[in-house]
Structure formats: structure tokens, C-alpha cells
């Protein structure tokens, strides 16, 4: 039997001009995507699993409302302390043969997470994890990362820390649609929120950062509940599909199937290379985003909401 699984998503208003241009002027060579990484943090709240979301510009390849993350930079290649699975295993899971490139994606994810949220997946050894990082030194370190005055490796080396890669699980690679004017090649990772740390908005980086209950999020995804909660000019009055990417929606739908984050994390450890996914522009009269799931994604968390018959709008 031929494997054929697709999911359709409304086209976000911010993406409409690029999509219209792509259609009007015919198929062209897509812009080269920049490598990027995002770490999705999950935790158990009082009423079920929660996910950490932040607000970005409306044209961000990660979505106007998305998980913490951003592009890889040259400093992510600096030698850094490393605890956990060897790069050879990471290479197999990410489907990347270049060990330097593999490490760069992981370092970028950890760096962006710390810079944007204050959560740091690092410690002195494979048994310890950095604790509360709300002091002036941590704030200054986050600002130095944002300004690229220091690399993550330099910040960790000063404390004798290394990245706790054993706490991070790769879950997939997504490419921005071909028509987009800004394109990312993004590796998605997931981790449990460090229990002795807390999040805070980084001054000048973002205006909104919040833990959101996924059950409520999915319950209200076809309303402006999330957009009004963010309360930004480019989110108010818009539903979830209009301000996020398919990756954000599918992840939250998958997490919502579990009563706790631990069970979810245990279910997503990849036994083979993570799947590659991409939303493309539909060919119908009404522009939509279409995700076609490859055979390699059949058993992944990304396909679970679709296979389970999740109700689309």
C-alpha cells in the first residue's frame, strides 16, 4: 500500500504577500535556508502538560508565536564541554554526517534557549545542572550572547560547565516553505524544563514569554485565545494557525495526547534519523500550507495527530 498522509493548514496573513508573489511570478529557485535550532521546553503544570512559548516578529520563519530558538552562528562551532551521548550517536539521530555541524545545531539550540528564556541546559558534569540563574551575572551573560560579545562556550568555560546533551532529544527537521522570503533549515529538539531554574524575558529580545497549558491551547486553537493572550499588534484577534507554524501546531497536538510530560519525553527518543518535513503552498484557488508526511515520519510524533484523526477546522 502506498503511504500517503497529508495535513492542511491555513496560510498565516504574514505569509500571504510572499505566497502571492510566488504564484504570480511562477516557480523560482527558493532562497537558501539558514541553519537554525529550537529547543521545545515542556513541564507538568497543575492541570496538565505545558509548553514554553515566545513572541517574535510576524515574518519570523519560526512563527510569530513559537518555541525558543534561532539561527546558528559561527561562535556555535567553538569547542565546548559536552556531557551525554557521543556525537556519533547524535549524527545518526539528526541524519547529519558532519560532526561539527551536528554539534553546531545542538549548541545553537542551547544558546538560544538561555539567551531568550534564562533556562540553561548545562552543568559541571553529567549528574548536575545549573541552578537558579536570575542574578546580574546571568543577565549580563544573556545580553552578551545576544550581542555576540561572548560565545556560549566562553560563558560555560568560565564556570567549568558543559552542555547536558543527555537531557535533549531531537525530534525532527523542518524547512521553511519554498516561497518564503526568509527561510530556515531548523532542527527541533525537546527537553524537560530544569526544575531549579525559571524563565524571564530578555530585555530587548522579546516582549512576551509564557508557559501555556497545551490542553487549553488546543481547545481554543480556532479562536483568538492565544493571539489575545500574547496581546501584540500582530497577534491580537488571530487564531493559532494564523500566528504559528505547522511545526508548533503539530507538536502541541501531539503533547496534548499525554497526561504528563515525562511519558511524552519517553515516547519521542529517536531510534533512527529524525524525519524531514516541510510545508508547501497548495495548488488550489484558496492558498493553504500543505505538509506531506514521508514514510520516515510514519512513527514520529509529528504524524500522530493526523493518524489519530485530529479534527481540522
Average confidence (pLDDT) over 94-105: 96
* Segment among 92-96, 229-233, 269-273 with least mean pLDDT: 269-273
- The verdict on residue 16 lying in a domain is yes
- The verdict on residue 313 lying in a domain is no
- The verdict on residue 123 lying in a domain is yes
- The verdict on residue 28 lying in a domain is yes
State yes or no: pLDDT of 132 exceeds 80: no
Q: How confident is the model at residue 1 (pLDDT cuts 50, 70, 90)?
A: very low
Say what the pLDDT of residue 307 is: 72
- The verdict on residue 121 lying in a domain is yes
Say what the pLDDT of residue 73 is: 97
Q: Where are the alpha helices (DSSP H) in the chain?
A: 16-24, 87-94, 99-117, 136-146, 152-159, 214-219, 225-230, 240-243, 246-255, 261-267, 304-307
Which among 270, 273, 264 has a CA at the least distance from the CA of 305?
Answer: 264
State yes or no: pLDDT of 201 exceeds 90: no
Q: Domain of 300: which CATH number?
A: 3.90.79.10
- What are the strands, taking DSSP E only, across the chain? 5-10, 34-45, 48-55, 65-66, 69-71, 82-83, 122-123, 162-164, 169-175, 184-192, 209-213, 276-281, 288-293
State yes or no: pLDDT of 204 exceeds 70: no
State yes or no: pLDDT of 236 exceeds 90: yes
Say what the pLDDT of residue 207 is: 78
How confident is the model over 21-78, as pLDDT tens digits?
Answer: 998 887 678 999 999 999 999 999 999 999 999 999 999 999 999 999 999 999 999 9
Average confidence (pLDDT) over 147-157: 96
Number of domains in the chain: 1
Mean pLDDT, the chain, integer: 92
Say what the pLDDT of residue 311 is: 45
Which range marks the domain in which residue 33 is found? 5-307
Q: How confident is the model at residue 145 (pLDDT cuts 50, 70, 90)?
A: very high
How confident is the model over 244-274, as pLDDT tens digits?
Answer: 999 999 999 999 999 999 999 999 887 788 9
- The verdict on residue 312 lying in a domain is no
| Three-class DSSP category at 34 | strand
- The verdict on residue 11 lying in a domain is yes
Give the list of residues 6+ apart from residue 225 with CB closer than 8 angstroms, or none. 216, 217, 239, 240
- The verdict on residue 256 lying in a domain is yes
Say what the pLDDT of residue 27 is: 64
Say what the pLDDT of residue 14 is: 94
Amino acid at each position: 500500500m502506498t503511504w500517503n498522509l497529508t495535513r492542511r493548514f491555513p496560510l498565516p496573513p504574514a505569509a500571504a504577500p510572499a505566497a502571492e508573489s510566488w504564484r504570480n511570478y511562477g516557480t523560482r529557485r527558493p532562497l537558501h535556508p539558514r541553519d537554525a535550532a529550537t529547543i521545545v521546553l515542556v513541564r507538568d503544570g497543575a492541570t496538565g502538560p505545558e509548553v514554553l512559548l515566545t513572541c517574535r516578529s510576524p515574518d519570523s520563519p519560526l512563527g510569530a508565536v513559537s518555541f525558543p530558538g534561532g539561527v546558528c552562528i559561527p561562535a556555535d562551532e567553538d569547542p565546548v564541554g559536552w556531557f551525554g551521548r557521543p556525537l556519533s550517536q547524535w549524527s545518526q539521530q539528526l541524519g547529519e554526517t558532519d560532526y561539527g555541524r551536528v554539534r553546531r545545531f545542538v549548541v545553537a539550540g542551547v544558546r538560544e534557549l538561555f539567551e531568550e528564556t534564562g533556562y540553561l541546559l548545562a552543568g559541571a558534569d553529567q549528574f548536575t545542572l545549573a541552578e537558579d540563574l536570575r542574578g546580574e551575572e546571568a543577565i549580563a551573560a544573556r545580553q552578551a550572547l545576544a550581542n555576540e560579545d561572548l560565545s556560549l562556550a566562553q560563558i560555560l568555560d568560565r564556570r567549568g560547565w558543559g552542555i547536558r546533551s543527555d537531557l535533549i532529544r531531537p525530534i525532527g527537521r523542518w524547512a521553511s516553505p519554498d516561497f518564503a522570503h526568509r527561510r530556515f533549515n531548523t532542527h527541533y529538539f525537546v527537553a524537560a524544563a530544569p526544575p531549579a531554574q525559571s524563565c524571564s524575558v530578555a530585555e530587548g529580545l522579546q516582549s512576551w514569554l509564557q508557559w501555556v497549558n497545551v490542553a487549553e491551547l488546543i481547545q481554543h486553537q480556532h479562536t483568538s485565545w492565544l493571539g489575545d493572550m500574547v496581546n501584540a499588534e500582530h497577534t491580537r484577534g488571530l487564531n493559532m494557525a494564523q500566528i504559528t507554524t505547522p511545526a508548533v501546531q503539530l507538536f502541541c497536538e501531539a503533547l496534548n495526547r499525554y497526561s504528563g510530560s515525562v511519558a511524552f519525553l519517553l515516547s519521542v527518543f529517536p531510534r533512527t534519523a529524525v524525519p524531514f518535513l516541510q510545508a508547501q503552498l497548495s495548488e488550489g484557488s484558496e492558498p493553504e500550507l500543505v505538509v506531506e508526511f514521508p514514510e520516515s515520519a510514519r512513527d514520529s510524533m509529528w504524524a500522530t495527530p493526523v493518524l489519530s484523526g485530529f479534527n481540522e477546522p
